[in-house]
Amino acid sequence: MKTFAKGFGIAFLGGALIIGVSPLLFSSSLLENSNALLSSIVPEQKPRQKTPEELIAEARARSSDIRALYMTADVASDPGAGAARLRNAIIDIAERTEINAVVMDVKEVCGPDYDEENLKKLLGDLKAKNIWAIARIVAFKDASQIKAHPEWYLTRKAPKAVREGGCKGKQHLVAKGAEASRIFWRDNTGGYWLDPASSPAHEYLITFSKHMIDMGFDELQFDYVRFPSDGDVSQALYPTWDRTTPRYDIMRSFFTNLRDSLKAYKPDIILSADIFGYVAAQHEDPTIGQRLSDIVKTFDYVSFMVYPSHYYSGLYLAANPARGLPAVSYTVAEARTNPDVTVGRSLIVAQDYFDFVASTTQATTSPARTETIARIRPWLEDFFHEADRLAGRPWGAQKVRLQIDAAQDSTGHGWMLWNAANVYATGALKEE
């Protein structure tokens, strides 16, 4: 009897569970069927893709206050312990200070210089940390195509001894091809130059730039976008340039082609150009083909290299009554002694000119241009500290901070610090 009762109890309990659960199972099944039916009637909503205009506006806004450190190609891509230490140190600075971007070499005077796998990993790390990634691309000074495409290069009639350039240890970057029998023209540092008028050379640079976009860079920064300036340039023979067309017409054509091609490829890619510091005050240098009136209409940012130590002829600026600023007449030493004035006044002159170009463009165009005028984001120096210290000039963190504050007060769109050794005066940077 006890056994029967025990068995009956278990059976009764099991039945109760079955009876109790069945409605739940039925309800769940009905709900699933209802959801399936609803999904067939109302498709699942996918997140709305942003329009090109929205992406452009976002990139423009995010790039408007970039504070960057420079990183060499070897530090960016080399897997070695030394490179990793410097690379990680720069990323650490960006994570704990006001720095929010890194400019890294991907193509230098020796040619394209990066390890694709390692660079992709670095770009992924930067993206995860919300650090803006800028690819620095040296344009027409490029030794890598002398064998594959010698017809793109400047030559000369008779050989001339020049010091060996820094590419001797990077022969692996030279594209394969027959040994060229030409006598190449080389600048004072032994550098080789592509003809800025060469259409195939343009396409080579554009193709490379598109690959950097595919790699994931937020911005492409172009350096050496000019004719050569150092060496016996009068002896250079150009395979394409006719020596009659003004150099600035050649460069303007390249700027326009570069912008149109890359913006069509990725409308929200940001493009910037590195320009000699003295061009900020002179507005043009016809000997190298650079005119600000052309550059401000084709790039998003212009980066004047306003290094106080590089004003080899001094700094001479007229008074600016509209801003209440006196005339400046600095020797080379005085320009280095007053880094804040050297940087600030150079950028103010450039900004006033940019504003003038913007106002005249809007006034003379019907309908008004929709394209934006470039903003200024300068290169500042974070080097030569020992020489400055010995001379009693501002040095180290003090010198760097004086430049930063001057740049912020003059243009307000950020700045970049250059140190070829990848070591920075962190005491100049604000903690965040």
The count of other CB atoms within 10 Å of the CB of residue 42 is 8
- The token pair at 369 is 């241009």
Question: Is residue 298 a part of any domain in this protein?
Answer: yes
The number of distinct structural domains making up the chain is 1
Q: Residue 277 and residue 307: Cα distance in Å, rounded? A: 7
pLDDT digits over 404-419, tens only?
Answer: 999 999 998 999 999 9
Q: Residue 195 and residue 192: Cα distance in Å, rounded? A: 10
The 10 Å CB-count burial string (b at 16+, else e) for 383-410 is bbbeebeeeebbbebbbbbbbbebbbeb
Q: What is the pLDDT of residue 181?
A: 78
Question: Is residue 410 a part of any domain in this protein?
Answer: yes
226 close to 140: Cβ distance less than 8 angstroms: yes
pLDDT digits over 363-390, tens only?
Answer: 554 444 445 799 999 999 999 888 899 9
- The pTM assigned to this predicted structure is 0.87
Q: Say if residue 43's pLDDT is above 80.
A: no
What mean pLDDT is predicted for residues 149-171?
88
Q: Say if residue 1's pLDDT is above 80.
A: no
Contacts of 122 (CB under 8 A, 6+ apart): 76, 77, 87, 104
- Helix/strand/coil for 145: coil
Q: Say if residue 241's pLDDT is above 60.
A: yes
In Å, how far are 75, 90, 139, 168, 415 from 104, measured between CA atoms? 9, 11, 15, 21, 15
Q: Residue 260 and residue 34: Cα distance in Å, rounded? A: 52
Question: Is residue 28 a part of any domain in this protein?
Answer: no
Length of the chain equals 432
CATH number of the domain within which 220 lies: 3.20.20.80
Question: Is residue 367 a part of any domain in this protein?
Answer: yes
Q: What is the pLDDT of residue 363?
A: 52
Q: Say if residue 235's pLDDT is above 90.
A: yes
Under the banding of pLDDT at 50, 70 and 90, the label for residue 20 is very low
Question: Is residue 276 a part of any domain in this protein?
Answer: yes
In Å, how far are 111, 227, 354, 417 from 93, measured between CA atoms? 29, 36, 32, 12
Q: Residue 296 and residue 292: Cα distance in Å, rounded? A: 6
pLDDT digits over 162-213, tens only?
Answer: 877 778 889 889 998 876 678 999 999 999 999 999 999 999 999 999 999 9
Question: Is residue 391 a part of any domain in this protein?
Answer: yes
215 close to 119: Cβ distance less than 8 angstroms: yes
71 close to 105: Cβ distance less than 8 angstroms: yes
Question: Is residue 264 a part of any domain in this protein?
Answer: yes
Task: Identify the burial level of 155 via C-beta atoms within 10 angstroms of its C-beta, where 0-12 means exposed, 13-18 middle and 19 or more buried.
Answer: middle
Question: Is residue 40 a part of any domain in this protein?
Answer: no
Under the banding of pLDDT at 50, 70 and 90, the label for residue 161 is confident
User: Domain range holding 365?
Assistant: 66-141+197-428
Under the banding of pLDDT at 50, 70 and 90, the label for residue 34 is low
The upper half-sphere exposure of residue 295, i.e. CA atoms within 13 Å in the direction of its Cβ, equals 29
